[in-house]
Amino acid sequence: MSSPDVPIRECGECTMCCKVMGIEDLGKPAGKWCEQCAIGSGCRIYETRPEECRLFECGWKFDAALGPDWRPDRAKFLLQYELGGKRLAVRVDPQRPDAWKREPYYSRLKQMAREAAAAGRYVIAVVVGGRATVIFPDRDVDVGFVNGDERLVVTFFGRGEVVKVHQSDPRAAGIPYA
């Protein structure tokens, strides 16, 4: 489930990350277009962009199994591998909060969830505004809004479970905001 080291695709006209990702250094909330984005073209400050932007890696660029319809500007969400590949986050365009539930995406995300669970990993759909849904192989668990001081702890006992805990809870050690 983790992405390879070298991208196999270029962004092209896609700038979805400039909308769905929050960028603390720019004071840019998730779900709003970045003021530095030339939509459909790219970043106006690419050479001096913040570290958060430099470190971001779009899952579509690295995963050969995802076809052109998975390009974020077409799918209306992007995939981001986190926690060293333990979590696959689906960051959704707030104007299309149901985009991840459409086909062919939903079936493939469920397949990814099955593969991930077998390896102790998980898939989470994050809809802007902090509302999160964990995608388990057999069901989706809407955990509601996750505040900046909360973390999601996912375990795979039986069917799998998810709990929302305060960031100071020892179970949240090393888990970034959803």
47 and 63 co-located in one domain: no
Domain assignment present for 32 = yes
Q: Global pTM?
A: 0.87
Domain assignment present for 178 = no
Q: How far is CA 86 from CA 32, 59, 118, 121, 129, in A?
A: 27, 13, 12, 5, 23
158 and 117 co-located in one domain: yes
67 and 45 co-located in one domain: no
Task: Please report the pLDDT score of residue 127 as a whole number.
Answer: 76
Task: Please report the pLDDT score of residue 80 as a whole number.
Answer: 93
Helix, coil or strand: residue 67: coil
Token reading at 93: 């365009």
Domain assignment present for 177 = no
97 and 110 co-located in one domain: yes
Task: Please report the pLDDT score of residue 176 as a whole number.
Answer: 61
Task: Please report the pLDDT score of residue 154 as a whole number.
Answer: 81
Q: How many domains does the chain have?
A: 2
Mean pLDDT over the full length of the chain = 88
24 and 105 co-located in one domain: no
97 and 167 co-located in one domain: yes
* Burial per residue of 27-65, b for 16 or more beta-carbon CB atoms within 10 angstroms, e otherwise: ebebbeebebbeeeeebeeeeebeeebeeebbbbbbbee
64 and 137 co-located in one domain: yes
136 and 61 co-located in one domain: yes
Residue ranges of alpha helices (H) inside 10-128 are: 17-20, 51-55, 59-62, 72-75, 105-118
Domain assignment present for 122 = yes
105 and 22 co-located in one domain: no
Token reading at 121: 């990993």
Task: Show the domain range for 20.
Answer: 11-56
- Which residues in the chain come in under a pLDDT of 50? 1-3
Task: Please report the pLDDT score of residue 2 as a whole number.
Answer: 47
Around Cβ 151, how many Cβ atoms within 10 Å?
22
45 and 117 co-located in one domain: no
Helix, coil or strand: residue 141: strand
38 and 72 co-located in one domain: no
Domain assignment present for 5 = no
48 and 116 co-located in one domain: no
Nearest CA among 73, 63, 77 for reference residue 106: 77
